[in-house]
């Protein structure tokens, strides 16, 4: 069994090359690969494409979890291993099961679903030792609302202001485990 860590990244399918969100995901993919970790995401466009592209260009490995229910023709060209699921629940479950850690980029309801699923599993103790990082400021208002209802939920998500800070935090967490 390999001790290589897999980082599952949740994010939007909307950003295009040259947009800040795309560029940040590309940088994140490169950083994940350079750290020796595998990048896993939904495998389609936007930040998913950017992350896989960055990781692949840096010599890393990528996994894309696709979903038949979306009716899309296939994953982006930088996905090296595709895991095909039939429905959204299976897709989210696979993304979570594959991850040793999670990074949440800005996104819409799909990203919110992925964050909520991972966060709830962490709250219930099912993801012990698997950190959830929120990259940037996008999710701060959501975290603030949840903190009002359940302050202890904050124990399961960590902010990361930059890709560099995120990689440092992940490296420290993995060394400690």
Per-residue confidence (pLDDT) for residue 1, from 0 to 100? 40
Whether the CA torsion 134, 139, 129, 173 is positive or negative: it is positive
Closest CA to 47 of 77, 70, 15: 15
Residues of the chain with pLDDT below 50 are 1
Q: 52-72 in b/e burial notation, b at 16+ Cβ within 10 A?
A: bbbbbebebbbbbbbbeeeee
Q: Which domains does the chain have, with CATH numbers?
A: 6-176 (3.40.50.450)
Per-residue confidence (pLDDT) for residue 176, from 0 to 100? 83
């Amino acid at each position: 069994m390999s001790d290589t860590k897999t980082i599952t990244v949740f994010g939007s399918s909307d950003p295009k090359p040259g947009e800040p969100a795309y560029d940040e995901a590309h940088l994140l993919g490169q950083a994940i690969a350079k750290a020796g970790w595998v990048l896993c995401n939904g495998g389609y466009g936007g930040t998913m494409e950017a992350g896989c592209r960055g990781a692949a260009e840096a010599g890393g490995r990528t996994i894309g979890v696709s979903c038949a229910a979306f009716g899309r023709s296939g994953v982006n060209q930088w996905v090296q291993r595709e895991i095909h699921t039939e429905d959204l629940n299976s897709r989210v479950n696979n993304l979570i099961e594959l991850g040793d850690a999670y990074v949440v980029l800005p996104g819409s309801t799909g990203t919110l679903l992925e964050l909520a699923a991972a966060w709830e599993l962490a709250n219930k103790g099912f993801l012990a030792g698997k950190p959830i990082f929120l990259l940037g400021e996008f999710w701060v208002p959501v975290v603030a609302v949840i903190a009002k209802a359940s302050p202890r939920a904050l124990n399961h998500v960590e902010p990361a202001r930059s890709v560099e800070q995120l990689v440092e935090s992940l490296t420290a967490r993995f060394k400690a485990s």
